[in-house]
Structures are given as structure tokens and as C-alpha cells.
Amino acid sequence: MNRIVVITSAVLLLTPGLAKAAEDSMIVRLGDLNVASEAGAQSALRRIRLAADRFCGGHGDRSMRVQMAVGACRGEMVDKAVAQLDDPTVTALHRGETAIRLARR
């Protein structure tokens, strides 16, 4: 299955003394993964998070304001990508849901 998640978002570019909106896209390729399996879903979520990290930037800037904006951007982009992928296993992992397994006697 050839799956590509493309998220387009208005991004706030934070540079010293200048803030402007820009339209940009985050692309995550997942076609080689079986997202129905837990291992595939974990890999997909990892790729989505890494793509959001690269997309939102902010590396090296220690300003609290910038770091808060970058964190919000990352969270928003991961949320959007998971929603667009619309896979129950990936969604459950993203929400922190885990299956509860009970031992038999």
C-alpha cells in the first residue's frame, strides 16, 4: 500500500524581531509499513514525530517563547498527521492507549 501523509499548515516562522505566516507542507512516507501491526504503527508514529520535529524547527534556540511555539507546532502537526492517516492502531499509540492483557489462571 502506498501511503503518504501530507499535512499543509500555516506555520509561524519565528526569527528574532520578525514573525510571519507561511504556507508549507509536511510529508511523511509510510507506504513500506504495515500500520495495522503494532511494530508498523510504532514506526509510523516515530516517522510522523520526526517529520514534525524537522518541519517545526527551533533547534538551537533556547528562548522560552520560541520553544513553546515549536512545541505547539510539533503537537499540532503530529495530531493532524495521525488524524489524516486515520489508522486505529496509530491513533491508539498516539493517544497513549495500551491494550490491557489479563493473565489466565
Write out pLDDT tens, residues 12-27. Answer: 444 443 343 455 788 8
pLDDT for position 10: 46
Instruction: Note the pLDDT of residue 24.
Output: 74
> Per DSSP, what are the bridge partners of residue 21?
12
The predicted structure's pLDDT at residue 99: 53
Q: How far apart are the first and last CA of the chain?
A: 41
pLDDT tens-place string over residues 51-103: 999 888 877 777 888 888 888 889 989 999 999 999 999 999 999 865 544 45
pTM: 0.72
